[in-house]
Amino acid sequence: MDFILLLAFVPAALALNLTPGADMMFCLGQGLRSGPKPAIAASAGISVGALVHVTLAGLGLGALVATTPWVFDVIRWIGVGYLMWLAITALRNSVQDSRVKPLSPRLAFRQGLLVNLSNPKVILFVLAFIPQFVDPSQGSVFAQFLMFGGVIAFGGFIVNGFVGIFAGSVGKSLTGSPKFQRGIGYVTAAIFSALAVRLALLERA
């Protein structure tokens, strides 16, 4: 890989990681709801999902999502349904119990992975962004896809993880208040609902 291209890619990827988006909001919600460790696990799940998208894009399957509307829509609506289910679950738990039940890191990881995989915009972004830095003369295009994707995934894990840790620390410091705990459930449900609406309104262009 061209070292100059890599130097140009790292700050571009970091700027993308620092831009607030669905992944960051999801980790924020998980941190508020369950604490720092599940938030870190959710961030790890999102990063693994991003690597899956990068692999698919590198294999050429991203073009299928980009050019076949029904594939894009199927993935998108699966994501909308899953996020709404998470929102309803969080809301129901907060109504039934004043204390929000925290997620285990394993479940938070799985939720982060599924939320990322069910967002078709990720693979379209990878398909549009990474090829700008790929140089076929440097060797395997697929290997370069994976390396650049690894940089994005690692940066996202760090940034989203810190957001989740901060949110988790705030939530943990106020766990003694039942009203605050109930409020966390409402806020988490609102975040998941907003992400679902955002995904529902998503367009391929």
Question: In terms of Cα–Cα distance, which of 25, 27, 44 is closest to 35?
Answer: 27
Q: Does the residue 4 lie in any domain?
A: no
Q: Does the residue 119 lie in any domain?
A: yes
Q: Does the residue 21 lie in any domain?
A: no
- Going by pLDDT thresholds of 50, 70 and 90, the confidence category of residue 99 is low
Q: Does the residue 160 lie in any domain?
A: yes
Q: Which tens digits make up the pLDDT trace of 139-194?
A: 788 888 899 999 999 999 999 999 999 888 876 665 555 666 677 778 878 888 88
Greater confidence (135 vs 51) lies with: 51
Nearest-angstrom CA–CA distance, 42 and 199: 19
- Going by pLDDT thresholds of 50, 70 and 90, the confidence category of residue 83 is confident
The residue segments making up the domain with residue 114 are 38-200
| Total domains present in the chain | 1
Q: Does the residue 205 lie in any domain?
A: no
The pTM assigned to this predicted structure is: 0.80
The three-state secondary structure class of 102 is coil
Mean pLDDT of the 63-90 span? 84
Q: Does the residue 15 lie in any domain?
A: no
